């Protein structure tokens, strides 16, 4: 099966657990880490998601370091995706352990709500987004914060899906489709296959975006990009359309993570709307926009391009 998948130009992933059992009740890798890693390498696996069920009295740092060492010893490059739901704050210690780590509990197919299962909760898109506050300084090329998979195409409204995808790209998050790719609507395809939006997520600078202001349910986000460009996003969290005036000069700031500055007082950027795929002038003057309900306005601000 791995050979077949590779023949299509794709990668193959597999799932296991640091505990005695997986979250689905199957045998976990506890006590068999090197055996499992060697098996994955022999099978031609490219990606391991390593979960955290049935881990009573197990130390997460030791458990994930152990599987990291096992994967390295197996001799095949395998992307190591850690999933202990952010309980031990892996962003503070896992830079040299995993390639990505979940920062929260499971995502839920809802734009703005919480699903209470009793002993645990799953979270809507906005709740997951809020949980990323303060984590951007820990991520970068080769070690990423993972706010969980995308729910795009699973039944939310198109505007909500567009906002969801946009914000995950602003977060430089791993883009993992959680929908059935065999049955995608044209609207879903237009979202998950928008190369200009994906380019923000995959930008080589590898720096997460940051929220710089909030006004009347509108959040203002910036993401530094390689070459001095910026991604700019207005997120409308409310259920009604909002008018917003972008006063560029109010957003002169130095980003401590990327060491880049917006310099709107010195630099004029060309504005490209990444969802309409149209040029919208430049940043010399304030710009009045309408942000649809539970949707975004997403721009790439470019230097020296027309």
Instruction: List the catalytic residues.
Output: 51, 106
DSSP assignment of 153-195, as one string?
TSSS-HHHHHHHHHHHHHTT----B-S-TTS--HHHHHHHT-H
Determine the Cα–Cα distance for residues 2 and 43; give it in Å rounded to an integer.
Answer: 7
Buried b (16+ CB within 10 A) or exposed e, 28-63: bbbeebbebbbebbeeebbbbbbbbbbbeeeebeeb
List residues bridging with 236 in a β-sheet.
218, 295
C-alpha distance from residue 256 to each of 16, 208, 222, 228 (Å): 37, 12, 13, 14
∠ Cα 162 90 197 (to 5°) = 20
Facing residues of 175 across strands? Answer: none
Query: What 3-state class would DSSP assign to 96?
Result: coil
Q: Is-contact 234 212, C-beta < 8 A?
A: no
DSSP class of 238: S
Surface-to-core class of residue 3, CB atoms within 10 Å of its CB (0-12 exposed, 13-18 middle, 19+ buried): exposed
């Amino acid at each position: 099966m791995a050979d077949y998948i590779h023949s299509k130009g794709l990668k193959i992933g597999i799932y296991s657990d640091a505990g005695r059992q997986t979250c689905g009740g199957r045998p976990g890798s506890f006590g068999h880490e090197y055996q499992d890693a060697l098996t994955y390498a022999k099978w031609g696996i490219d990606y391991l998601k390593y979960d955290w069920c049935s881990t009573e009295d197990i130390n997460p740092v030791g458990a994930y370091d152990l599987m990291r060492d096992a994967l390295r010893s197996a001799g095949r490059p395998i992307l190591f995706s850690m999933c202990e739901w952010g309980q031990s704050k892996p962003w503070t210690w896992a830079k040299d352990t995993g390639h990505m780590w979940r920062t929260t509990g499971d995502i839920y197919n809802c734009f703005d709500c919480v699903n209470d299962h009793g002993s645990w909760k799953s979270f809507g898109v906005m709740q997951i987004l809020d949980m990323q506050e303060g984590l951007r300084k820990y991520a970068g090329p080769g070690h990423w914060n993972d706010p969980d998979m995308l729910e795009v195409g699973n039944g939310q409204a198109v505007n909500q899906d567009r906002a969801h995808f946009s914000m995950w790209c602003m977060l430089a998050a791993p883009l993992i489709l959680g929908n059935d790719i065999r049955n995608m609507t044209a609207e879903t395809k237009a979202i998950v296959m928008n190369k200009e939006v994906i380019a923000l997520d995959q930008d080589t600078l590898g720096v997460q975006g940051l929220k710089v202001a909030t006004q009347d349910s509108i959040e203002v986000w910036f993401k530094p990009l390689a070459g001095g460009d910026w991604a700019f996003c207005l997120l409308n969290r409310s259920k009604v359309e909002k008018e917003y005036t972008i006063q560029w000069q109010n957003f002169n700031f130095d980003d401590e993570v990327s060491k880049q500055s917006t310099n709107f007082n010195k630099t004029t950027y060309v504005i490209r709307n990444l969802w309409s795929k149209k040029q919208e002038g430049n940043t010399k003057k304030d710009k009045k926009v309408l942000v649809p309900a539970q949707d975004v306005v997403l721009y790439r601000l470019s230097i020296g391009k027309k």
